[in-house]
Structure 1
Amino acid sequence: MSTAHFTYEEVGATREQGHCPPGFHPLRVRTRIGEGREVFRRASEAVMTWEMHRALGVGIEASADRAAPGTDVTVTLAGVVRAPCRVVWTAEEPRLAGWAYGTLPGHPECGEEAFLVDRTGDGTVWLTVTAFSRAAKWYTRAAGPFTRAFQHTYAHRCGTTLRRLCADIPQP
């Protein structure tokens, strides 16, 4: 684990669904993945082990094979943009699994993003991506609304990719 400090004060705030600290842009994208215990198990494992992100075509360098608080993660986009982060919290419960990471110095954004798989009472499995962020580099400030549009597209692609990874599991 690096000794770098987070680039924002509200570390862990994505645990509170719907909370967005002042001065940040909120994001919430929820995607239906499928139904049943096996879909939940498969989706949870894909999220917790970085498989979903790698299947998206995103470069992931992580200090552990599985998400855990304190794990350093560097996300690489298009082989050019490097975004250092650290996992701030995880959840592994019978109907909820996922994690959030926060930005470290050098990340083009400042804030936090969470990836949560949940299985509702009717057995439906969902991926919810929540985040709060603001520009941290000149090029993300210059891109303005295009940066936020990219974040929404990325969150939707996470759901589409996870649904594809779980497509071979029989539905109840």
Structure 2
Amino acid sequence: MRRGTFRDDTVDYAAVGATHAPDLMQYPPERSIPAENSWRIGSGAERFQTAGDALLTWTAQRAAGLSIDDVRPAPGPAYAGVSFDAEGTPIAPSKNDVEQRFDAEGTPFAGPGMTLRLHGRVSGMRADAELRVISVTEEKRRIGFVLGTVGGSVVRGEESFDIDWREDNDEVWFSVRAFDAPNSLLYRLVPALVKRRRRELFARYLRAISPLYATPV
């Protein structure tokens, strides 16, 4: 894993946390295109925990054909990210110190305040970006995180990834939500490319977390 010089940058969009707003699809941030999708990926506690661990170790991104590098933790031990309630309102974090974990390859689990770089293409479209982890959720029945763009992408905006273990029927669901505002001239002139790029990313993310998906060797 390559490590570059850490830069304490802010995200390049204003509506931080808007992917958790219940009315995202009806009222997206200005000049952005919203999207959401979800799959049922199994049932039970074991499926929930396995999928949650896979999510926090970047399986959705890596199995989508994207590479991750320049992973940097939050600038200080007291940073616990931003959390949001069911209405999308920011709330205080439940704890100040966040324990850092690592996967078998030494890459840190997703952690609040972390920055990273993605590289790759989906169906010929650039998916490169510098990103910040806005928040991480690890609850009894929900595991997830939110990524926001810092720069270097053809779009600016946010993605949220959530694994939910439903109490009423024991089902486990993986949901992704996003909003994208075009940055590059081509994407501003042809908004359909923004939607096409997002559909392809969602399909790859969802397939990656599905138990039917096998990571290529």
Assess if the C-alpha contact under 8 Å between 2:146 and 2:161 holds in 1.
yes
Counterpart code for 1:46: A
Aligned positions of 1:10-159 closer than 5 A: 10-19=15-24, 20-61=28-69, 62-63=71-72, 65-78=108-121, 81-121=127-167, 122-159=169-206
Whole-Å Cα distance in 2 between the matches of residues 66 and 18 of structure 1? Answer: 29
Counterpart code for 1:44: G
Whole-Å Cα distance in 2 between the matches of residues 135 and 98 of structure 1? Answer: 25
Higher strand content, 1 or 2: 1
Whole-Å Cα distance in 2 between the matches of residues 73 and 17 of structure 1? Answer: 27
- How far the C-alpha of 1:40 sits from its partner, in A, is 0.5
- How far the C-alpha of 1:57 sits from its partner, in A, is 1.6
Assess if the C-alpha contact under 8 Å between 1:114 and 1:129 holds in 2.
yes
**Worse-matched range after superposition: 70-79 or 103-112:** 70-79
Unaligned 5+ segments in structure 1 are 168-172
Counterpart code for 2:116: V
Counterpart code for 1:107: S
**Correspondence for 2:76:** none
Matched residue SS, 2:29: coil
Instruction: Give the alignment's TM-score, normalised by structure 2.
Output: 0.70
Assess if the C-alpha contact under 8 Å between 2:12 and 2:149 holds in 1.
yes
Whole-Å Cα distance in 2 between the matches of residues 52 and 30 of structure 1? Answer: 13
Matched residue SS, 1:104: strand
- How far the C-alpha of 1:160 sits from its partner, in A, is 1.4
Assess if the C-alpha contact under 8 Å between 1:85 and 1:107 holds in 2.
no
Whole-Å Cα distance in 2 between the matches of residues 98 and 9 of structure 1? Answer: 21
**Correspondence for 1:163:** 210
Assess if the C-alpha contact under 8 Å between 2:63 and 2:204 holds in 1.
no
Number of equivalent positions: 167
Assess if the C-alpha contact under 8 Å between 1:74 and 1:82 holds in 2.
yes
Q: CA RMSD in A?
A: 2.1
Higher helix content, 1 or 2: 1
Counterpart code for 2:186: Y
**Correspondence for 1:170:** none
- How far the C-alpha of 1:74 sits from its partner, in A, is 1.1
- How far the C-alpha of 1:46 sits from its partner, in A, is 0.6
**Worse-matched range after superposition: 146-155 or 40-49:** 146-155
